Structure 1
Amino acid sequence: MKNSKKKQAPKTNKFIEKFNEFKFLHIILYAILGVVLFVALYSNVKPETVDIELFTVSDQTIYAPTTVEDKVETEIKQQEANDNVEDQYTLKKEITDKQVDLISSIFDTVLEVKIEAAKLATDSSENVLSPEDQVKEIRQKLTSSITDKIPENTFLPLVKASKDEVEMAKDAVVTGVNNIMSKEIPIVQLTEAKKQVEEELQYSSLRSEVLQASQVLAKFAITPNYVFDLEATEEKRQQAIDSVKEVQIKQGQILVEEDELINREVYRKLGLVGLLDDQQSYKPFIGLGILILLILTVVIYYFEKKDRPIAKRNNSLLLYCLIFAITILLMKIVSLFQKIDYNHIGYIVPVAMGVMLVKLLLNERLAILTSMIFAICGSMIFNEGITGSFNFPVGIYYLFGCLAGVLFLGEHNFRSKILQAGLFVGGINVVVLMAIMLIRNGTYSNVEITSYFVMACVSGLVSSVLTIGFMPFFETGFGILSTMKLIELSNPNHPLLRKILTETPGTYHHSVMVANLSESACEAIGANGLLARVGAYYHDLGKTKRPQYFIENQMNIENPHNKLSAQLSKNIIIAHVTDGVEMLRKHKMPKEFVDIAEQHHGTSLLKYFYHQAKESNDSIYEDEFRYPGPKPQTKEIAIISIADSAEAAVRSMSNPTPEKIEKLVKSIISDRLQDHQLDECDLTLKELDIIAKSFCESLKGIFHSRIEYPELTKKQKGSK
């Protein structure tokens, strides 16, 4: 039975690997995710309706399920406000200026004709213009719109008057017109205004004939200047309309009470909020579709923005969809108990399980994003018994519970850590529930409070238990290298580690040193330190095939490479990479470990054997003495690669000092950069500087200088 189980696991993994290589799988998974969300939330956004008829008695109290505008009532109030606005009038100063200019031009015309008549009288006595002729000349020069309104005998006294009298009359009339028209003159007060200008001219020193003519012209000039302003009136009316607040039917408002008659107004309001059977609204479903598209957009952005292989992306997406669907299904199943009149059952859902699994198996950022999505979905699924589509207290409760689970879990998560996370989530749930109850300022019985807190604690504990239960299935089925799996593989009793320890003790010690260096450097830059440490244990597994050809395993024996050609030595050294990869694959070790063993030397040059071969044969090419690669693809592998060289180089130093160690580490990193070995991983120069400092601190602690004893010093000098 055991053997059959071991044979089935690889088949499952291979099936999933082939399945994940399907080119359009991610599109199908996004579509399935959208369908799951729509099916789960459909019944929660479907508009509620009531079976009721006009002029019947309601058998229940009906509340408005949503807030809507009552446009009919709003329009009635707006029309009332519009009708109450009075017409607006404006004092037009330009009319005053125009009339003053008009009266001035009339007097100027009189003066002009008088000057012409005087000139003709001087030149020739035959063509002298009589006063009557001068009046005719004046009227000809003025427009008909003026002459028609001014009596014909008005200009005769002005013509007979002297020039000074005419100018005095002009000044008096202009002043009078300007004074009177500087005030508001509506049409109804025009007669009064003309009387005022006539009275004002009475006090001038003009002769009676000239005064009468001036009064006629002044009254002619007076015209209404306080006129109806259509634009200002319309603006005032619009302001009045805008000031009217829209009449709303508020969410939760009582539309009709039990045993109340359904009149036309009530029936209209029921239809307005969409509670009548004959009114089918598709707006909620359109809104749900838009919300789902927004959620999918965020998920798609996360999974598609990274330049990852198709199979790896599909594998992560498929796992995410499964976790998401299981969590939503749990919510939906628990929500069915709302029908038994227990609306707060949503507090018991172990929703934190979903985000804890996402955090442990995928990514922390994705887990935080999923917390927000679950909060939105939960607030919609558990909206029974409330007015509206969103139960915000449940949404807040889920959000804080999920975030608590994500943030509590660290890098190295044992099963006990996950259980502690469940307790922490339960505690946060209790605190959030307490805050919600206090904010509501409601009255709760002891039974209600106890039931709420029990559900909050159960939610956290069940989340951790389900997380531990699902973890092995997802790890095995999807070939995921989780934290717990890494911890298991770091056990010294693992067969491969036992093989390295017993057959190549020097290599084992070297691997442990590289693991410690790599872990501290990875954690310093935010990379996966645990993966680097455990992967480094296995990176030189290939040396177990020919242990004596590697210097760390040459204890009290002659170096075999002294008897071999440089070409053959090169082949043996390079073979430890391919041998290690082959052995790791044979033992079904994680792909991450295979990549570390394959890439930790990149395409670097075996300098010692290359120069040795070059001395005997100048036609040797450098590419022949390089590792096959590929170059390190991740930060962790690049750090292991540098740590591998740094540890070996420092160990070979006769008297390592802090200065020598620092210089050596920087030179190794510089050589890797110049040799383009770090081109395909995303390490930055700032991170390389942090890595160098981490290596130096660790190496200084390991290879610290020791005190030279006097006797030992003398013997060393004598031997020299």
Structure 2
Amino acid sequence: MSQLINKIYKNNAIVYKILLFLVAVVAIVYLFPKGGQFKYTFSKGKPWQYDNLYATFDFSIQKTEEELAAEKQDLIGNSKQYFIYDVNKVTQVKQDFTAKINSVQSTDSIPKSELMGLVSVGNYVVDLVYKNGYLSENTQHKNLKSNDMVYLITGSQVEGVNFGRFLVSRDVFQLITDNIGETPYNHGQNVLLNILSEVLKPNVFFDANFTQKSLDESLNNISYTKGLITAGELIILKGDIVEGKKLAVLQSLKLESESKVWTESNYNWIIFGYTILVSLALLMLLLFLHKYRPEIFINNNKVTFIFFNVFLMILIQTLVIKYNVDYLYVVPLSILPIVLKTFFDARLGLFTHVLTVLLLGFIVPNSFEFIYLHIIAGIVTILTVSELYKRANLFISIAQITLIYMITYFSFSIIKEGNASQINWGYFMLFSANGLLSFLSLFFIYMYEKIFGLVSDVTLLELSNTNTKLLRELNEKAPGTFQHSMQVANLAEAAANEIGANSMLVRTGALYHDIGKMLNPMYFIENQSTGVNPHNDLSPKDSAFIIISHVIKGIELAKEHRLPDRIIDFIRTHHGTSLVYYFYKKEQDLNPDEEINPSKFQYPGPIPFSKETAILMICDAAEAASKSLKNPTAQSIERLIDKIVEKQKSDNQFINSDITFREIEKIKKVIKKKLMNIYHLRIEYPD
């Protein structure tokens, strides 16, 4: 058991990658839609590329979304309108009328014979009004015409009547005046007019609840199919154009096949298939890192960062599809290549983007169109996005990416529809929103720098500003070291540009590589302006200790000021494991009979492990040594640089830095040229 634990401990980096791989596979497969995959691919307006297709089972032809929407709209437009006939209201009105007439009979001087006639007319008007129904005009119902059929609910009975049968207040008043008699009215007729106007109340009301219930029932009873295909029936011939009924039948077959595939008995097999495909994609990513980016592969933090971004893009796209597939193209997948190119390189960014888009092809509709569009956009992203610290660059690049989205979608649309009249222009707004959201890449870059400790060009630009607190302090306390760092930064930047390394990174690292000297500036010759050398009072061992300690103190100072690890790497490695040769030789001269332990005069390392750190080591040593030349000439500079680099090579300082002999020769050539320009003597001007 202890051996197993020791083995796991020794190989903890590999164990971590395996666990990360498994977690990523499970998480991505979990996000995949719970449905089978149709084994044929087809597009509207394209020819059927497979053999003649026959139905292998019975299935219904599904109506399209447009057909269902039109049918629902038709039901809503022609829905039954229900009204309630209130019988109690009629009874109440008749009672009120009788009461009013009786009160008139006892108080008014209308002759009895005339009053009896008025009562007869009044009852006739009441019966006539409520025979047709008195409609309340305060109820909300859709605009109906006179000949529209509506349904009147009277108690437990429902009958269909014309809407024009109902009387409204205007009609009721006209009916009263028509039956009372001719104008001018006498006293009795006026009394009857007032009584009828007062007691007659609406008794027909629109029943909104029952109407809505009836409409909901009709909508629920809509048939989602429009025909049946039986087993053995020909669906489409090879070469036929996929359109019209054939398209509808194929779409129905696809839905039915996917539902049949995704059954409980097949569930585990389909999950197993998804797991294999996702595993292959992520394995390709790991193999790419292992073969072409070993410095990233060995760094678990960076591998985690890459896998996290892949999962994040798939998660966001999945959520959008789940809640509203119409916003499919709003998700700014171009953020992924932008971020990866910023922190790593273009090749890794494009490779990861392509794998991510291929995985998303499992969950999106029209997968070929989606994959083609996003891969083209990803290529444009990689080709155009550069130097994010220049504000205009990102704006121009995202504008180009958005334009590519629009052009590609436009092309697909006219291919499928045969013309431009059916293009969904709303997608162009989605692509514009996609472009705007792509600016979030700056936010993600900032957050990733804080979370994963990565460094972008934007941060490097900020750090390389000589007005930053740390560099300003270096200039004040150790001006000679500051000038040396500036010269080394210029040399290193030129050398990096020559061999295609990260010039911004190496320049920034060069500016900070000697910050440890500011704690004891007078012990370093470039800061000794008075001619007094404090090393004269120290032993060679003590002097070597002070010189060597500027690396350790520089690392501590950098961490105190929260410099990124990639910058601290330059402080660690700029002397590698070389000797403080001057004091080592001095110790040998003072003690010729003793065997001097070189480890007391040796920098702790590590040796450079990237092209950029190797460049800094060469440039730092070359610039410092060039100051020792009393009469610098082209020949002396060339011999000096060759000697320094050969010594570093013989000490195996570059074996971990992935730098070639050819690149080292190019670096030497650049340094020689720059130093010759620096030490070029001007002609002496006459007095």
TM-score range, shorter chain: 0.5 to 0.7
Q: Select between 37-46 and 315-324 the one with higher mean Cα deviation.
A: 37-46
Deviations 1:136-189 (A, max 9, x none): xxxxxxxxxxxxxxxxxxxxxxxxxxxxxxxxxxxxxxxxxxxxxxxxxxxxxx
The partner residue of 2:25 within 34, 49, 54 is: 34
Deviations 1:223-245 (A, max 9, x none): xxxxxxxxxxxxxxxxxxxxxxx
Residue 21 of structure 1 deviates from its aligned partner by 7.3
For structure 1, which runs of at least 5 residues remain unmatched after alignment? 1-17, 49-62, 70-245, 384-389, 712-720
**Partners of 1:599 and 1:660 in 2: how far apart?**
27
**Partners of 1:581 and 1:596 in 2: how far apart?**
10
Structure 2 counterpart SS, 1:275: helix
Residue in 2 that maps onto 1:265: 232
Matched, 1:368 2:332: no
Q: Select between 556-565 and 687-696 the one with higher mean Cα deviation.
A: 556-565
Q: Percent identity?
A: 31
Structure 1 counterpart SS, 2:361: helix
Residue in 1 that maps onto 2:662: 686
Residue in 2 that maps onto 1:638: 614
**Partners of 2:557 and 2:464 in 1: how far apart?**
17
Deviations 1:650-678 (A, max 9, x none): 23323323333223222211111122222
Deviations 1:235-293 (A, max 9, x none): xxxxxxxxxxx654599xx9969755554533999999793666657476554333212
Contact 2:53–2:234 at 8 Å: present in 1 too? no
Residue 368 of structure 1 deviates from its aligned partner by 0.6
One-letter identity of the residue aligned with 1:406: I
Residue pairs, 1:235-246, within 5 angstroms? none
Residue 429 of structure 1 deviates from its aligned partner by 1.6
One-letter identity of the residue aligned with 1:293: S
**C-alpha spacing 1:265/1:414, structure 2 compared with 1 (3 Å):** same
Residue 499 of structure 1 deviates from its aligned partner by 1.3
Residue 369 of structure 1 deviates from its aligned partner by 1.1
Residue in 1 that maps onto 2:637: 661
Residue in 2 that maps onto 1:214: none
Contact 2:522–2:528 at 8 Å: present in 1 too? yes
**Partners of 1:506 and 1:250 in 2: how far apart?**
86
Residue in 1 that maps onto 2:427: 452
Contact 1:352–1:402 at 8 Å: present in 2 too? yes
Matched, 1:707 2:674: no
Residue in 1 that maps onto 2:244: none
Residue pairs, 1:530-609, within 5 angstroms? 530-609=504-583
Deviations 1:669-702 (A, max 9, x none): 1111122222332221111111111212322332
**C-alpha spacing 1:544/1:303, structure 2 compared with 1 (3 Å):** same
**Partners of 2:14 and 2:556 in 1: how far apart?**
29
Matched, 1:275 2:256: yes
**C-alpha spacing 1:273/1:440, structure 2 compared with 1 (3 Å):** closer
Contact 1:351–1:374 at 8 Å: present in 2 too? no
The partner residue of 2:282 within 271, 296, 307 is: 296
Residue pairs, 1:45-84, within 5 angstroms? 45-46=36-37
**Partners of 1:392 and 1:329 in 2: how far apart?**
20
TM-score (normalised: structure 2) = 0.64
Equivalent pairs counted in the alignment come to 489
Deviations 1:396-434 (A, max 9, x none): 111111222222222564454333332221122223223
Residue in 2 that maps onto 1:353: 335
The partner residue of 1:316 within 286, 296, 302 is: 302
Structure 2 counterpart SS, 1:380: coil
Residue in 2 that maps onto 1:325: 311
- Give the structure with higher Rg (CA): 1
Residue in 1 that maps onto 2:624: 648
Deviations 1:193-225 (A, max 9, x none): xxxxxxxxxxxxxxxxxxxxxxxxxxxxxxxxx
Contact 1:515–1:532 at 8 Å: present in 2 too? yes
**Partners of 2:648 and 2:488 in 1: how far apart?**
17
Contact 1:542–1:577 at 8 Å: present in 2 too? yes
**C-alpha spacing 1:646/1:275, structure 2 compared with 1 (3 Å):** same
**C-alpha spacing 1:285/1:512, structure 2 compared with 1 (3 Å):** same
Deviations 1:542-571 (A, max 9, x none): 111111121111113322333433233222
Contact 1:44–1:380 at 8 Å: present in 2 too? no
Residue pairs, 1:482-561, within 5 angstroms? 482-561=456-535
Deviations 1:69-95 (A, max 9, x none): 8xxxxxxxxxxxxxxxxxxxxxxxxxx
**C-alpha spacing 1:634/1:263, structure 2 compared with 1 (3 Å):** closer
Residue 540 of structure 1 deviates from its aligned partner by 0.8
Residue 332 of structure 1 deviates from its aligned partner by 1.8
Q: Select between 325-334 and 280-289 the one with higher mean Cα deviation.
A: 280-289
**Partners of 1:395 and 1:559 in 2: how far apart?**
68
**Partners of 2:301 and 2:530 in 1: how far apart?**
50
Contact 2:386–2:394 at 8 Å: present in 1 too? no
Residue 511 of structure 1 deviates from its aligned partner by 0.2
Contact 2:54–2:231 at 8 Å: present in 1 too? no
**Partners of 1:694 and 1:433 in 2: how far apart?**
48
**C-alpha spacing 1:675/1:316, structure 2 compared with 1 (3 Å):** closer
**C-alpha spacing 1:610/1:415, structure 2 compared with 1 (3 Å):** same
Structure 1 counterpart SS, 2:33: helix
Residue 307 of structure 1 deviates from its aligned partner by 4.9
Residue pairs, 1:333-344, within 5 angstroms? 333-336=319-322, 342=326
Residue pairs, 1:384-395, within 5 angstroms? 391-395=367-371
Residue in 2 that maps onto 1:462: 437
Structure 1 counterpart SS, 2:584: helix
TM-score (normalised: structure 1) = 0.61
**C-alpha spacing 1:653/1:379, structure 2 compared with 1 (3 Å):** same
**Partners of 2:528 and 2:631 in 1: how far apart?**
21
One-letter identity of the residue aligned with 1:699: L
Task: Calculate the aligned-residue CA RMSD, in Å.
Answer: 3.7
Structure 2 counterpart SS, 1:556: coil
One-letter identity of the residue aligned with 2:566: E
Residue 358 of structure 1 deviates from its aligned partner by 2.1
For structure 2, which runs of at least 5 residues remain unmatched after alignment? 1-8, 63-224, 237-248
One-letter identity of the residue aligned with 2:384: F
Contact 2:523–2:535 at 8 Å: present in 1 too? yes
**Partners of 1:351 and 1:298 in 2: how far apart?**
20
**C-alpha spacing 1:359/1:671, structure 2 compared with 1 (3 Å):** same
Matched, 1:696 2:672: yes
Contact 1:303–1:313 at 8 Å: present in 2 too? no
Residue 504 of structure 1 deviates from its aligned partner by 0.6
Residue in 1 that maps onto 2:142: none
Deviations 1:601-626 (A, max 9, x none): 11222232222222221114244332
Q: Select between 280-289 and 546-555 the one with higher mean Cα deviation.
A: 280-289
